[in-house]
Amino acid sequence: MEARDGIGLKISNDTLQLIDQTWLPHTEQWLTITDTPAMIEAIHGLKVRGAPMIGIAAALFLATKASAGAGADSLADDLARLRDARPTAVNLMFAMDRLAAALERNGPAGLIETAESLADRDAMLCEAIADNGAARIAHGEQIMTHCNTGALATAGIGTALGVIRRAHEQGKAIHVWVNETRPLLQGGRLTAWELGRLGIPYTLISDSMAAAVMATHRIDRVIVGADRIAANGDTANKIGTYGLAVAARYHGARFEVAAPYTTLDPECDDGSAIEIEQRSPAEVQGVAGAAGALRWAPIDAPVYNPAFDITPAELIDSWILDIDVFDRTDVAGGALDAGGGAFG
């Protein structure tokens, strides 16, 4: 297999390593993934996260197993188990379905080739998304983003954060407002870390400040990623995204979704059909990570903790994909109906 050395994923000597994102930004710890339960646990525990990265990491893990001599039956069983590891993120299902078809056609060698192709293609898709999105950004814009959509979340430079990065590289003097993204703080921990490494000016805010910042700092646009996009444009993304779209509409800021074609789900008519992952109450009752653990709520406090929400297409101004940028009129006319098959 080809060696890889990314910000969040490495392959050397047919062994997959993932940076444990739960320890960032305080500590850079790398996990060696040697078996399927460890890969599933890394996904469940958000040690690897971001819809594109989940799919790519799982695919490359299976490729390392195939390269080490795993047979077709064993790989098929692992494919099925991994496909269901995170129900909202369609990229994982897309990758596993592609690998299953390749395994059936050409055996383990076909799986390896397809996994490496998916990883390389994701990096290219990120570049196309970045170019398409940055072309729409004017000099000096104030941009808000949510969760983490950069190199940690993809095999390339990122989706929404890739657009921001490309605009910065073009010298557009942008400023980024980063929502901390409760309850697991992917914005505060991961996006702030990536922006700092890239030298992109940013300000970190709590999620509850977002609407007030839109009102007082004239935010030009909000750019977010996506975990699944239905055929009608309804978009599943990190919890809190829907509220940002509502606030953006009121305050006149554009609201844009940046994602690769692999995030489109043509089998899903609208957002009501998207399964929303429910996570542990402990994530809301307190916090745990490299800095230690702290509980602030009563241990028996009832908790509702959906990982994602659905933003209706009516609140989204544009979908920035690798193939093109679509507005609401395009999407209402069926631009997303064909899904990934039309673009991939």
Q: Find, among 227, 228, 154, 244, the residue nearest to 194 by Cα.
A: 154
In the chain, domain spans: 4-128, 136-343
Mean per-residue pLDDT, 60-89: 96
- Give domain 4-128's CATH superfamily: translation initiation factor eif-2b, domain 1 (1.20.120.420)
Res. 3: pLDDT tops 70: yes
Q: Residue 288's pLDDT is what?
A: 74
Does this chain's domain 4-128 share its CATH topology with 136-343?
Answer: no
DSSP β-bridge partners for residue 204: 178
CATH fold for domain 136-343:
Rossmann fold (3.40.50)
Query: Which tens digits make up the pLDDT trace of 140-179?
Result: 999 999 999 999 999 999 999 999 999 999 999 999 999 9
SS3 17: strand
- Binning pLDDT at 50, 70 and 90, where does residue 337 land? confident
Res. 51: pLDDT tops 80: yes
Q: Residue 339's pLDDT is what?
A: 57
Q: Residue 343's pLDDT is what?
A: 43
Mean per-residue pLDDT, 34-47: 96
Which pTM value belongs to this model? 0.94
Query: Which residue in the list 220, 227, 234, 322 is annotated as catalytic?
Result: 227
Residue with the bigger pLDDT between 83 and 217: it is 83
Give the least confident one: 116-125, 258-267, 288-297: 288-297
- Say how far apart CA 7 and CA 28 lie, in whole Å: 10
Q: Residue 89's pLDDT is what?
A: 85
Q: Is 227 a catalytic residue?
A: yes
Pure H helices in 135-228: 160-169, 186, 192-198, 210-217
Strands (E), the chain: 4-5, 9-12, 15-19, 30-33, 142-145, 175-179, 202-205, 221-224, 228-230, 235-238, 254-258, 264-265, 286-289, 292-295, 308-311, 318-320, 325-327
Q: Residue 229's pLDDT is what?
A: 97
What amino acid is encoded at 104 in this protein?
A: E
Question: Residues near 30 by Cβ (< 8 Å), separated by ≥ 6?
Answer: 10, 17, 18, 19, 20
Q: Residue 291's pLDDT is what?
A: 67
Query: 294 is written with which tokens?
Result: 């702290």
